[in-house]
Structure formats: C-alpha cells, structure tokens
C-alpha cells in the first residue's frame, strides 16, 4: 500500500515539475524585459523600486535626440539592404545545397554555416583587415557587407528547411501541364516557399539591427543604434536606454505580428489552391 502511495506521489510530483520548469524558464526569459519596460516609466534617474513617480520624460527625450535619430536611420538603412541581399543570396544558395548532389556537398554545407559559429569579434577583426588590405574606406557599405557575411547562413538555413519539406511532384505536375521552368518557379515553387523566405528576411533584419561587434570594427564614422546604446552605457544605465529598448521591443513585437500574419495568409492561399 505504501509503495502505491509513493508511486502516485512521484507521478503527481512529475506532473507538477514540468509546468513549474516551464514557468521558471519563461520567467528567466521575460522578467528582465518586464523590469526594463517598467523602469522606462520611472521618474527617478537611478532604477529603483518602489517608484518615486511615473513619467514619460525619457520617451520625450528620445523624440528630440537627433544623434539617436541618425543612428536609428543608419541601422534601418543597413538592416534593409542586409535583409535584401542576404535573403536573395541565401534563397539562391539554398536550392543547390538541398536539391543537387555533388562531391564534397557536406563540406560545402559546413563552410556555408561556419560564420554562424565563428566568434563575432574574430569576424569583425578579419573583415577590418580584409577591407584595409583592399583599401576600402569604412562606411555603411562595409557594415552591410559585414552583416551579409554574418546573416546569410541564417537565411540559407531557414529557406533550406522549407525546401526540404517541398513536394517536388508539384513541379512535375506543372511541367506536365506545359509550364516552362521559369513559370513553374514563379507560380508554383516561389509561393510555396514564401513563408520560409519571409521568415528568413525577418530573422536577418532582426540580427542586423542587433549586431554590435562586427559593426564596431567596420563602421568607420557611421554609428548604429547598438553603438549609440553602448555609448550611453559607458557612464551607467541612462533612463533613455530603458525607453529606447522598450520602443525597440515594441517595434520587434509588431514586426513579429506582421510576419505571422503574412505567413498565415500565404498558408491560406496555398490551402485554397
């Protein structure tokens, strides 16, 4: 009897342990973000609880911080071109990596994914030496090239995952119906893999906006939003940092919703077809 009770107690503990681990995991991820947003409304310069007052002053300061505006514009400009280049090249590179069989295919796949595991500061130093050797002046162009080197493997990985699940009999059916390869690609293949391409673009955009180390080495005189935040943190945690980070989090959340909406809409079109 005691063994049965002990077994039931163990099972009950096991059922409670899994949700508890989930709650603790989410708390570890999101409690710091909650406090970051909370302190962005704190009237006191030094983050502390309880609040001395509620204010929107730090958000108002962002509205006339022209240095921050310039840094944000540079980040958006760089992220846009990085996303366009990396997603396009990554999509094109994913096709032969997934669909073609050739010698040393495994080695080529490892080389493509190698920038994902190389420490960022080493990649930044290598790019700086490379640009200096070529005599290329550091500018937004060098930042974009550095971000492309870093983010393109992620685009390849996401699009490749979509291509692995692609039913190639659809292409054969389109060919049997008289569609040429170009028409088959744009009217059959591209709509089906579009959620993967959109996901790759969102991931690349977020990675480019977030990148600091590579940007630090190849930026020249053009600062980005991450470098601006770093400059504010040199003298402690400025309240504007909390406000700026909260605004960027909100923008990321909106971007995530848009991506989810586009993905579900594309999936709905596929289902109707």
Domain-wise residue ranges, the chain: 1-39, 66-272
Counts for the chain of helices (H) and strands (E), in that order: 12, 0
Please tell me the distance from the alpha carbon of residue 220 to that of residue 41, in angstroms, as a whole number. 34
Q: Model's pTM, two decimal places?
A: 0.81
Dist CA 129 CA 181 (whole Å): 43
Cα separation of 175 and 11, whole Å?
57
**Helix residue ranges per DSSP H, 40-180:** 57-63, 66-99, 105-113, 120-134, 140-164, 169-176
Q: Which residues of the chain have pLDDT under 70?
A: 1-3, 5-11, 13-14, 45-51, 235-238, 259-260, 262-273
Residue 187 neighbours by CB under 8 Å, 6+ apart:
174, 179
pLDDT of residue 69: 85
Using alpha carbons only, what angle is made at residue 154 by residues 150 and 159, rounded to the nearest 5 degrees? 145
Q: Give the model's pLDDT for residue 273.
A: 53
Q: Residue 39's closest CA among 267, 183, 271, 245?
A: 245
- Cα-Cα-Cα-Cα torsion 213, 209, 130, 87, nearest 10 degrees, comes to 140
Q: In this structure, what DSSP letter does residue 226 have? A: H
Give residue 30's pLDDT: 83
Segment 84-118, tens digit of pLDDT: 999 999 999 888 888 777 777 777 778 888 888 88
Q: Which two tokens stand for residue 53?
A: 């007052």
Looking at residue 101, what is its pLDDT? 75
Cα 188 to its chain centre, rounded Å, is: 27
The domain 66-272 belongs to what CATH superfamily? Answer: MetI-like (1.10.3720.10)
Rounded to the nearest 5°, which phi and psi values hold at 261? Answer: -65, -45
Find out whether 150 and 211 touch, Cβ atoms under 8 Å.
yes
Please report where in the chains the tokens 């290329």 appear, as a residue. 136
Q: What string of H, E and C letters represents the secondary structure of 157-209?
A: HHHHHHHHCCCCHHHHHHHHCCCCHHHHHHHHHHHHHHHHHHHHHHHHHHHHH
- pLDDT of 250 reads 83
pLDDT at res. 118: 84
Return d(Cα 188, Cα 112) in angstroms, integer.
Answer: 27
Residues paired with 54 in a beta bridge: 42
Contacts of 18 (CB under 8 A, 6+ apart): none
pLDDT at 79: 93
Q: What is the pLDDT of residues 3-17, one digit of tens each?
A: 675 666 666 766 777
């Amino acid at each position: 009897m005691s063994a049965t009770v002990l077994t039931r107690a163990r099972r009950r503990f096991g059922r409670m342990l899994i949700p508890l681990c989930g709650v603790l995991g989410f708390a570890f991820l999101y409690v710091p973000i909650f406090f970051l947003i909370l302190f962005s409304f704190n009237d006191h310069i030094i983050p502390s609880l309880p609040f001395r007052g509620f204010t929107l002053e730090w958000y108002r300061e962002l509205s006339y911080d022209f240095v921050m505006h310039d840094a944000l514009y540079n980040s958006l400009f760089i992220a846009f071109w990085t996303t366009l280049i990396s997603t396009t090249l990554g999509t094109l590179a994913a096709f032969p990596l997934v669909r073609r069989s050739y010698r040393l295919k495994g080695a080529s796949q490892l080389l493509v994914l190698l920038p994902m595991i190389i420490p960022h500061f080493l990649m930044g130093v290598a790019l700086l030496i490379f640009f200096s050797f070529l005599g290329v002046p550091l500018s937004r162009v060098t930042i974009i090239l550095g971000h492309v080197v870093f983010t393109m493997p992620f685009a390849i990985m996401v699009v490749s995952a979509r291509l692995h699940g692609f039913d190639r009999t659809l292409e054969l059916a389109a060919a049997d119906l008289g569609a040429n390869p170009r028409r088959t690609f744009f009217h059959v293949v591209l709509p089906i893999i579009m959620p993967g391409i959109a996901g790759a673009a969102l991931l690349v955009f977020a990675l480019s906006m977030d990148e600091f180390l590579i940007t630090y080495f190849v930026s020249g005189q053009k600062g980005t939003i991450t470098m601006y935040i770093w400059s504010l943190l040199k003298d402690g945690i400025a309240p504007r940092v909390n406000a700026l980070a909260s605004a960027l989090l909100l923008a990321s959340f909106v971007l995530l919703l848009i991506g989810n909406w586009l993905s579900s809409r594309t999936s709905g079109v596929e289902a109707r077809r």
